[in-house]
A and B are shown apart, each in its own frame.
Chain A
Amino acid sequence: MSHPLMKYLREDWMPTVLCAGCGDGTVLQCMLQAVENKNIDIDQVAIVAGIGCHARLGTGYIAADSMWPLHGRALPIATGIKLVNPNLHVVVLTGDGDCGSIGLSHFVHAARRNIGVLTLCFNNGIYGMTGGQVAPTTRRGAITKTTPYGNLEYPLDLCSLAETAGASYVARWTTAHPRQLTKSIEKAFEKKGFSFIEAVTQCPTYFGRYTLETTRASEILRWFLRNSMSVEQSKKLDSEELAGKIIVGEFVDTQKPELAEQYQIQSRLKK
């Protein structure tokens, strides 16, 4: 018997190109489970991916309309799609480098505009596809291919950025929280405005090997659980106590006018 979510995938394309133990598959499963649970017509979903490990999942493996275009530009492409066809569920798959580095301004502006795009960010804390270089989300002190003596820079908190910029829904989970992640994606599918979900994923090949000195996915997942802290818990602690923690949960859950819908209303009034 085939996997119940296999109907969303191109089975003949398997196996994926991802490394053994990669967390991206878990996020993909959570996303497809949310599509299944919410009874979403997959033919009304348009997926736009960025460039990086996550992007290989976006185009090809999923049997849905999808684009695998340029590094960092998924969000403006998605904005164009959503404005022309607001009925589509536009889903952007992005990575921490894709979204937090090259595509940073698009990310901030998409959140600011509150365009109805579900943005799912695979954050492995490193540039995995290109060989383990330091990313804007890499922990301070971490050894990577381009920071052999330790990363001197501070990591970017993508969720707090999305919140500041004005997203309607913001949440973070790790691949050790698949149920919560699925629930958040379900919620985001129902949101009208811009939703941003950061999925902290394990990269055993680079992050695990360099930072935790393990290539075992299970050990990284346990490390995720040990270092995770709920949003509520984190509020009681100061920044020093929070150092190195992965704060998980919902940061924003609000309802405000969505751009494409507002545009349609304005157009009707102007006609």
Chain B
Amino acid sequence: MPEVGGVFIQMEDEIASITSVIGASWAGAKAMTATSGPGFSLMQEGIGLAVMTETPCVIVDVQRLGPCQGFATLPMQGDVMQARWGSHGDSRSNIVLAPASPQEMLNLTMEAFNLAERFRTPTIVLSDEIVAHMRERVIIPRIEDLRIENRSKPSVPAEEFRFHELSGSDVTPMPTLGSGYRLNIMGHLRTEEGRVNIPSQNAPQLAFKLLSHLSEKITTGEWEARKIKTLYADDSRTMLISYGATSRTVESAVKEARKAGMKVGCARLVTLWPFPEEQLQTILEDIDNVIVVEMNLGQIVDKVREVVGRSTRVIHVPKVGDLHTTEELLDCVRKVAV
């Protein structure tokens, strides 16, 4: 980092890592931290602070088998719901992206910074032990070819700036510490004037408005990174749904099945949260069978069931600690596909 004018520090623990990232972000830097499984649990407190203070930051979580120590070198996709809901208190403004290759580790981390800056929210790159250990060719783009987003700064002077004002799903500009705005940044519920002594009869209404703002700012409107990548989606009767490392075997299984003449395709969720409901609904509209492949006991499958409704058959293929084999997936496909 010194070579490029950045700062790197190894903090004493994950709580200190995420909180120092929050401090760095308010001091004006684009800041990130990286961890694996248990460290991500520790970071939830800080992620809650980043949500409540609308701090742009990026967290890379390399998922591993758990809970607790689990098994450090075994893969799992067990943090999907934790990445979504981790902090206490109905915290739901995390954006979560799931890379499936080293190239995507790079691209989605860059994308995560753009999203974090645009929405003033923690953005999580939810990798897993397999993708993180993968060695593949990575093309590093030229800086001038990149689309770089920066947080919006207030355009009005300090005395006119209303730091805590909420305007529905709009993101408020974010001044930097030391720029004369005399900010009072807090993890506490506040009035739109930034007061914390709130009459108890007003607090519930105020809390509803704040929490709705935090949630709606990332779900309102379309944004390009909320994406799903598909293969043979046009004429398939059966679709396999996956994300992250799991999608690698899914793709080879689908290609095998196609060779055998089966009308099978797959959809890979690149954005996990906010869940790309409408996009998935469109993809799965005329599908007979949906097979959800996850390296856990079932985290995204319920969301898929909700999207497709009762008329479509949803089959779940759970596994932990290892990738599904192509053969396992083909077995499953053969049972339903024609």
Contact = CB atoms under 8 A, between A and B. Distances in A.
Given A68-B188, A69-B185, A73-B46, A46 B177 contact: yes
Nearest to A80: B23
B184 A77 contact: no
Nearest to B15: A73
B9 A69 contact: no
A85 B177 CA distance: 9
A70 B185 contact: no
A173 to B, nearest CB: 28
Given A68-B187, A70-B187, A81-B24, A43 B12 contact: no
Interface stretch (A19-27, A56-64, A149-157, A213-221): A56-64
Interface of A is mostly: helix
A270 interface: yes
From A13, A85, A269, A270, name the one whose CB has the most chain B CB atoms within 10 angstroms. A85
A79 B9 contact: yes
Contact of A88 (B24, B27, B29): B27
Nearest to A259: B9
Nearest to A89: B178
A76 B22 CA distance: 9
Contacts of B46: 70, 73
Contacts of A73: 15-16, 19, 45-46, 49
B33 to A, nearest CB: 10
A31 to B, nearest CB: 16
A76 B178 contact: no
A262 B2 CA distance: 11
Given A70-B46, A105-B13, A63 B19 contact: no
A271 B5 contact: yes
Nearest to A77: B23
A48 interface: yes
Contacts of B2: 263, 266-267, 269-271
A40 interface: no
B85 interface: no
A255 interface: no
A60 B15 contact: no
A13 B247 CA distance: 56
A65 B3 contact: no
Nearest to B45: A70
A69 B19 contact: yes
A76 B45 contact: no
Contacts of A66: 183-185
Given A43-B178, A105-B13, A67 B186 contact: yes
Contacts of A29: none
Nearest to A263: B7
Contacts of B16: 73, 76, 79, 105-106, 109
B53 interface: yes
Interface residues of B, number: 44
A78 B9 CA distance: 13
Contact of A65 (B53, B183, B186, B187): B183
A270 B3 contact: yes
A269 B5 CA distance: 11
A67 B9 contact: no
A35 to B, nearest CB: 14
Q: Which of B22, B23, B181, B197 has the most CB of A within 10 A?
A: B23
A59 B178 CA distance: 15
A43 B182 contact: yes
A243 interface: no
B31 A46 contact: no
B20 interface: yes
A232 B194 CA distance: 46
Interface string A73-104: 10011111111110110000000000000000
A51 to B, nearest CB: 9
A160 interface: no
A41 to B, nearest CB: 9
Contact of A69 (B49, B180, B194): B49
B333 to A, nearest CB: 48
A265 B303 CA distance: 51
B24 A70 contact: no
Contacts of B23: 48, 67, 76-82, 84
B138 interface: no
B195 A13 contact: yes
A44 interface: yes
Contacts of A269: 2
Nearest to A106: B16
Contacts of B28: 84-85
A80 B21 contact: yes
Nearest to B29: A84
Given A65-B182, A76-B11, 5 more contacts: A13-B195, A44-B178, A66-B183, A73-B16, A85-B178
18 contacts: A17-B197, A46-B177, A59-B184, A60-B184, A63-B182, A67-B26, A69-B19, A69-B49, A70-B49, A76-B15, A76-B16, A76-B19, A76-B20, A77-B19, A80-B21, A80-B27, A80-B31, A266-B2
4 shortest interchain CB distances as A-B pairs: A80-B23, A80-B20, A84-B27, A267-B2
Interface of A: 13, 17, 43-44, 46, 48, 59-60, 63-70, 73, 76-85, 87-88, 105-106, 109, 263, 266-267, 269-271
